Structure 1
Amino acid sequence: MQLSHTLLRLKKRLESQVGKAIADYQMIADGDTVLVCVSGGKDSYTLLSVLMALRERAPVKFRLVAMNLDQKQPGFPAEVLPDYLTKMGVEHRIVEQDTYTVVKSKIPEGKTTCSLCSRLRRGIIYRIAKEVGATKIALGHHRDDIVHTLFLNLFFAGQLKAMPPKLVTDDGSHVVIRPLAYCSESDIARFARGMAYPIIPCNLCGSQGNLQRQKIREMMADWDQRYPGRTEVVFSALQKIVPSHLADQSLFDFKGLRPGHPLSAMDGGDSVFDPPALGQTWSQPGALALQVVKG
C-alpha cells in the first residue's frame, strides 16, 4: 500500500510515541512474546501495525502473537480478522467462545453487559497468554482512554486512579502493557482511516455503552475544544504526582510534618499557590477551572 506524505508523517509520529512509551516503561524486553489483543477496532489495528513496524528495527528481539476473541455476537463478521491477520503475515490465534449467550443469560434486559463481558474476556485472554507462552499482553488503550478513566474514578469512585501504562495481571502471571499510552485518539482515528482498516463495529452485542464514560468523553471534548491541549495536560499531570500536596497519608507523612521539615521532601512549600506561578504556568487551566466552577 502506497502511503501519502501526510499518512507517512502520522505513521512516524505514532511509531515514535509508541517507541518512547515502550522505552520509558520498559514494556518489551529481549526474548519477550507479546500477545496483542485485536478486536477489529481502530485502536487495536493501529497497535498491531505499529508494533510490527517497530519489531523490524528494534534493538531487541521479540515475538508478536495477535489474538482475537470471537464471542459469537450476532452479526459478527468472523472471516474479517482471520483474513486480515493472514494477509499481514502475523502469527495469530482466533479464539471462539460464546460469551455472548452467557452474558445475555446473566444480565437482565436493558442493563449494561459491559462489566461481565469484560471479566469473561479478560479470563480468556489470560488463558491464551499462558498457552502461547506470552510474557506480555498488549492492549490498545490510548492517552484519551487513560485520561477518561482518571475522571471516571475521580467523579464516580472517589479515587485518583487511571489506567497505568504497565501493570501485573490479577493472577500475577503476566504483565499488561499499553504501548499507545502517549498517542492521541484523534491521531489513531486519522491513521486508521488512512490505512482503510476493515473496522468491525463495537456495538454488535446491542448493549448500551458505558454512559458514565460517554459523559466524560463529552466533557473532555468540550474542554479540548475551548482550551486546546487539555487532555495532554491532564495526562502530563499523571506523570508528575506531588504526594505532599494531596491528602493520602500512606504516601506522605503528614503527621510527622514539623517546622524546619526539608522542603525538598515536600516539593516546595506553599509557593504553588502564589499568583505569579499560577498565572505564568497555568493560565489556561486556571481559566478552565474557573469555567468549571461557574458551569
Structure 2
Amino acid sequence: MGTLSVNQSKLQKRLRRQAGEAVTDFNMIEDGDKVMVCLSGGKDSYTMLDVLLHLQKVAPIQFEIVAVNMDQKQPGFPEHVLPQYLQSIGVPYHIVEKDTYSVVMDKVPEGKTTCSLCSRLRRGTLYTFADEIGATKMALGHHRDDILETFFLNMFYGGTLKAMPPKLRADDGRNVVIRPLAYCSEKDIEAYSELQGFPIIPCNLCGSQENLQRKVVKEMLLEWERKTPGRTEIMFRALQNVMPSQLADRKLFDFENLRIDESAPSRFLDVMNL
C-alpha cells in the first residue's frame, strides 16, 4: 500500500469516526429517516455525502439518503457535473432550479457582500423542497471551523454568544437541520477531498468574493492554531461546556434571586481545621 493510500485510509477513518460520533451524540439520524443531503458541489458537501453513505451501510438503523443540489442559475454553472457524479455512485438526487442569482444581483449594491442574501434565499428554497419530498432531516456540510468562525463572528459583530448548532429545528418547525461534520476539521476535509478527487464546483456567484468579516475571523483562528496547535479543538470543546452561572445572561440564570445559603457550613471552620 502506497503512502497516499495510507494517508487516505487514516483520513477516511478519522472523518467517518468523527461524523459517526456527532450523529450519535446529537441523535441526528433516527430509524426510518429520509435525509436530504444538500450538495453545493464544494469539498464539504461531497465529504458529508461520502461519510453518510458509509454510515448508512454500517449503522444499526435504516435510513434513506437523497441528494439535492440547487441550481441558482449562475452564469457558467456546470450543470452536468453533479448529476454525472451522483449517477456514477448510484445516489438518488434532485436538482432544484431557482434563479436566486438574478435576485441577489438586483438587491445587493455593487461591491457589497452577496453571501448573506444568497444563503437566506437558498435555505428558504431548500426548506420548502425538503417538506415537498417528505425529508425528515436536512443535512448541511458545515464543519467544526465553520461553527467556531460563526461563534466569533456573532460575538465580535453581533453581540451574541451563538454559533451553528449541530442539530437545529428551523423556525417553521417543519424542518430539522443536521450538521454531521460538526466534529470534523476543515483541514481534514480539504485533504480528503483532494485525495478522493471530488469534482469540485467553485462558487462564482460573486466572483469568489469572500465575506470580509468571516475572512478576518478565519485568519485569526488559523493564526491561533499555528501558534498553539490544538487550540481550535479546545475552543470547540468550550461550546459543549457552557456554564450559564458564570456568564451574564439573566434569561439563562436567575441572578436576581441568588442569595446566601443559610444552611451551608461556614468555610471559616473548614479553613481553621486545615
When the two structures are superposed, what TM-score results if normalisation uses the length of structure 2?
0.92
CA RMSD in angstroms, aligned pairs only? 1.6
Partner AA of 1:148 in structure 2: E
Measure, in 1, the Cα distance between the counterparts of 2:112 and 2:256. 46
Listed one character per residue, the Cα deviations across residues 13-45 of structure 1 (whole Å, up to 9, x for unaligned) are: 111111110110000000000000000100000
Paired residues of 2:245 and 2:253 also in contact (CA < 8 A): yes
1:180 deviates by: 0.3
Alignment correspondent of 2:220: 219
1:81 deviates by: 0.4
Paired residues of 1:72 and 1:99 also in contact (CA < 8 A): yes
SS at match of 2:203: coil
Alignment correspondent of 2:171: 170
1:207 deviates by: 6.2
Partner AA of 2:249 in structure 1: D
Alignment correspondent of 1:106: 107
Assess, with a 3 A threshold, how the Cα gap between structure 1 residues 262 and 91 changes in structure 2: closer, same or farther: farther
1:154 deviates by: 0.5
Alignment correspondent of 2:54: 53
- Farther-moved stretch of structure 1 (202-211 vs 235-244): 202-211
Measure, in 2, the Cα distance between the counterparts of 1:258 and 1:116. 47
1:112 deviates by: 1.5
SS at match of 2:141: coil
2:253 is aligned with 1:255: no
Assess, with a 3 A threshold, how the Cα gap between structure 1 residues 102 and 204 changes in structure 2: closer, same or farther: closer
1:107 deviates by: 1.6
Partner AA of 2:250 in structure 1: Q
Gaps of 5+ in 1: 264-295
Paired residues of 1:112 and 1:207 also in contact (CA < 8 A): no
Measure, in 2, the Cα distance between the counterparts of 1:215 and 1:203. 21
Alignment correspondent of 1:188: 189
Partner AA of 1:104 in structure 2: M
SS at match of 1:171: coil
Measure, in 2, the Cα distance between the counterparts of 1:199 and 1:77. 10
1:89 deviates by: 0.3
- Farther-moved stretch of structure 1 (233-242 vs 206-215): 206-215
Paired residues of 2:101 and 2:205 also in contact (CA < 8 A): no
Measure, in 2, the Cα distance between the counterparts of 1:109 and 1:242. 43
Gaps of 5+ in 2: 265-274
SS at match of 1:27: coil
1:208 deviates by: 2.9
Measure, in 1, the Cα distance between the counterparts of 2:29 and 2:140. 13
Alignment correspondent of 1:154: 155
1:169 deviates by: 1.1
Assess, with a 3 A threshold, how the Cα gap between structure 1 residues 14 and 207 changes in structure 2: closer, same or farther: closer
Paired residues of 1:42 and 1:199 also in contact (CA < 8 A): yes
Listed one character per residue, the Cα deviations across residues 191-227 of structure 1 (whole Å, up to 9, x for unaligned) are: 0000000111123432631100000000001000001
Measure, in 2, the Cα distance between the counterparts of 1:262 and 1:223. 46
Assess, with a 3 A threshold, how the Cα gap between structure 1 residues 261 and 70 changes in structure 2: closer, same or farther: farther
SS at match of 1:64: strand
Alignment correspondent of 1:268: none
Measure, in 1, the Cα distance between the counterparts of 2:157 and 2:22. 28
Measure, in 1, the Cα distance between the counterparts of 2:107 and 2:185. 36
SS at match of 2:94: strand
SS at match of 2:58: coil
- Farther-moved stretch of structure 1 (195-204 vs 213-222): 195-204
Assess, with a 3 A threshold, how the Cα gap between structure 1 residues 64 and 256 changes in structure 2: closer, same or farther: same
Paired residues of 1:33 and 1:135 also in contact (CA < 8 A): yes
When the two structures are superposed, what TM-score results if normalisation uses the length of structure 1?
0.86
Partner AA of 2:118 in structure 1: C
SS at match of 1:4: helix
Q: How many residues align?
A: 262
Question: Sequence identity of aligned pairs in percent?
Answer: 61
2:100 is aligned with 1:94: no
1:261 deviates by: 7.6
Listed one character per residue, the Cα deviations across residues 232-279 of structure 1 (whole Å, up to 9, x for unaligned) are: 11100000001111111111111222222899xxxxxxxxxxxxxxxx
